[in-house]
Amino acid sequence: MSSTFVYALVLAFCRAILNVFFREIRSRGSYNIPRTGPLIFAAAPHHNQFLDVILASEVWNESHRHVGFLVAASSMRQRFIGTVGRLLGAISVERAQDLAKAGKGVIYLDDEDPTLVHGVGTNFTAQLGPKMQILLPKSALSAVAQVSEVLSDTEARIKSVFSIGEGADGTKKVKDQVAKAKTSGKEGLDYKIIPHVDQHEMYEHVYDRLKEGGAIGIFPEGGSHDRTDLLPLKSGIAIMALGAMASDPNLKVKIVPAGLSYFHPDKFRSRVVIEFGKAMDVPQELIDQFKAGGDGKRIASAKLLEMIYDGLKTVTVRAPDYETLQLIQASRRLYKTPGQHLTLSQVVQLNRRFIEGYLHFQDEPRIQALKRRVIDYERQLLALGLRDHQVEGATRAAWKSLALLIYRTGLLLTWAIFALPGVILNAPIFMVASYMSAKKAREALAKSVVKIAARDVIGTWKVLIFLALAPILYTLYAILGTCIAYRVGAETRWILATPFITWVVVPVIGYCALKFGEAGMDVFKSLRPLLLAVLPGHHKRLEKLKQTRADLSNEISSVIDEFGPKLYGKDFDQRRIVPPSSGPPPGQAPSVGRRKSGASGVDAQGELLIHPMTWLDERIFGWTTSTRTSSTNSQETSRATSPEHSEDEDEPKGNGVVERGDWDDVIGTLQAHEKRRASRNYAQR
């Protein structure tokens, strides 16, 4: 394990980069992290490849615990990633699929025995061996099977039939693809050979780390992906926990599920919520069963894996497909939480509850009818080019909309002028990063059998390209600046100082451009609804859309009131269906840690910079009343009229309302404690 100083220093560097890429980073449930003892963090979903190091940063900030993540050996062999990984105490894992090689010739299955593989032009005796795997191409759904015996150069026996996804029988699919190949002139299918990898050394490193009372982190899905649901978990995490405790009876390993909820992980200045679930103890009966070996070892691992999967379900937002996820997000936006202004972490939790309710009651006629209405409403928004949060703001009086349109256009030009120098200076990095990240995504998609669009690698490559190009570009600017200073006849001391000044000024200009550009984009996105409100003929259409939204909002509230008690029983509260965004359970002292951005009532990024319209709209024009935080209606008005909502509507942004974040729970708990103590002291007197 790397030293505490080096670990903290490297994490600080990573955190600085992440704070530039992400607009907001929040964590909840940090009180669930045990401060001492052997610990395994089971993290999912693995949606952002190397940027998921953000989890280690949050654990360190919340509990000051080192987390050594298990990292693929192929990644550790990369110069930059490997160096950072080693400094952070990462444990290298050789993945068999990374060592896959193309097999010689083509193969097909026996007509009568699906476990007998025939080859044409193959050399099985030299290339195959027991415990190796045969991987078929994507056309055969990447079916895989383990070799049990090599019979000859052209015949091999597999342990069981070819499986496709979660162990499903892929025999028919394989034979269909072989038949299709024969019609095109080939005698079988191409294939790859996956070697057997001995992980004994890796497990020893894990066991040693846990026996020292350390913490390890693992993404048990086995690799990054961009699916809306979790991938089947690999058994390695269960073997690590059970194996460590089986080898040392005094060792008590705890497992903490950690969910990462990204709001568009591939996009620059997006947001993320990290949620820590309750630490799980490993049942003693599973340890005893694991020690027995044989089938008992396999059964114990499967049961523990199921426990971990159930734990991850409580901290992740999971949907069967993107269509369902989009429907849930649209419905959640339409729902008015009674008497609440939701923080970012509460939005994640509400999404999770909506998905749970929808999947449970999706066949109900009323749910189906509501689904059709929500989809139709989304189509109307798409036709008008509006976002849901812009509907109410687009239906104000025409003269008010015109005044705001003129003002915000001027403000947009102002922010654009301020941002222009930084944009020009950093344009080469932006262009190269955009091109290369898209290229790397295409390459990753071609290699993967689980990715949908390979969005999980885009954010990582944008950051890596920035880290590689920024020093080069800034050095060129420093050289150019020095040459200019020399040509204009500047004093020697200024010529010598020019490179250092350039290295300081150019990054500062770039960061200012980031902030000004971010504010400008917020304003830019608010112009379209204002323009629609000014144009003749659109007012009635917008009023009708506003009424549709109000009707849908009421219907969703009614549906929740009807079906909520059926799903949650006595735990359902119509007045407040989402508990506070964080805070320990009753009786447990809160952990007062660092302030989360935007959680203390004043946005850490600056009110006038990120939300430039809030001040003028509310204090000069006087058209909104969002500063009166006691009124839920005023909150909704502010959300509708403020321009700072980004393209991602699922990101709740500052709107002039005091955001009730994690600190409110801490402060409320402390205030209640003080009141109780004062009452006791008074009674004693």
Task: Please identify, among 131, 159, 194, the residue that sits at the C-terminal boundary of a domain.
Answer: 194
428: closest CA among 477, 387, 395?
Answer: 477
- Is residue 664 in a domain? no
Last residue of a domain, one of 291, 313, 335: 313
φ, ψ of residue 140 to 5 degrees: the values are -105, 25
One domain, residues 116 and 147: yes
Same domain, 516 and 417: yes
Q: Is 354 found in the same domain as 308?
A: no
For residues 117 and 174, give the distance between their C-alpha atoms in angstroms, rounded to a whole number.
11
Question: Does any domain span residue 612?
Answer: no
Q: Is residue 305 part of a domain?
A: yes
- Other Cβ atoms less than 10 A from the Cβ of 288: the count is 12
Question: Does a structural domain hold residue 626?
Answer: no
Give tens-digit pLDDT for 319-337: 888 788 888 888 888 888 7
| Threshold 0.85, pTM exceeds | no
Residues 516 and 427 in one domain: yes
Angle in degrees, CA 303, 309, 315, rounded to 5? 150
Q: In 3-state terms, what secondary structure has residue 33? A: coil
* Residue 663 maps to a domain: no
Do 562 and 508 share a structural domain? no
Percentages of the chain per state (helix, strand, coil), in multiples of 5:
55, 10, 30
- Max alpha carbon distance in the chain (Å)? 98
Domain co-membership, 79 together with 207:
yes
Question: Quick one: 473 and 339 in the same domain?
Answer: no
| Contact predicate 81/461, CB 8 Å | no
Residue 411 three-state SS: helix
Residues whose CB is less than 8 angstroms from the CB of residue 87 and which lie 6 or more positions away in sequence, other chains included: 2, 6, 7, 10
Strands 215-218 and 39-44: parallel
Query: CB neighbours of 384 closer than 8 A, spacing ≥ 6?
Result: 532, 541, 542, 545
Of the candidates 524, 471, 466, the one whose C-alpha atom is nearest the C-alpha of residue 268 is 466
Q: Are residues 413 and 510 in the same domain?
A: yes
How many whole angstroms separate alpha carbon 195 and alpha carbon 128? 8
Among 313, 331, 354, where does a domain finish? 313
- Containing structural domain, residue 561: 321-386+538-574
Beta bridge partners of 257: 42
User: Which amino acid appears at position 157 of this protein?
Assistant: R
Instruction: List, for residues 118-128, the tens digit of each pLDDT value.
Output: 999 999 999 99
Identify whether residues 255 and 168 lie together within a single domain: no
For residues 230 and 44, the answer to whether their CB atoms sit within 8 Å is: yes
Low-confidence ranges of the chain (pLDDT < 70): 1-2, 165-167, 338-341, 396, 573-685
Q: Do 107 and 152 meet the contact criterion of CB atoms below 8 Å apart?
A: no
Which pLDDT belongs to residue 60? 92
Separation CA 424–CA 559 (nearest Å): 51
Residue 598 maps to a domain: no
334 and 203 in a single domain? The answer is no
Beta-carbon contacts of residue 273 (< 8 Å; ≥ 6 apart): 26, 27, 28, 260, 261, 344, 345, 348
Residue 613 lies in a domain: no
- Domain check: are 476 and 500 in the same one? yes
Whether residue 127 is contained in a domain is answered as: yes
91 and 16 in a common domain: yes
Distance (Å, whole) CA 658 – CA 602: 7
CA 310 – CA 318 distance, rounded (Å): 12
Number of domains in the chain: 4
pLDDT at 516: 84
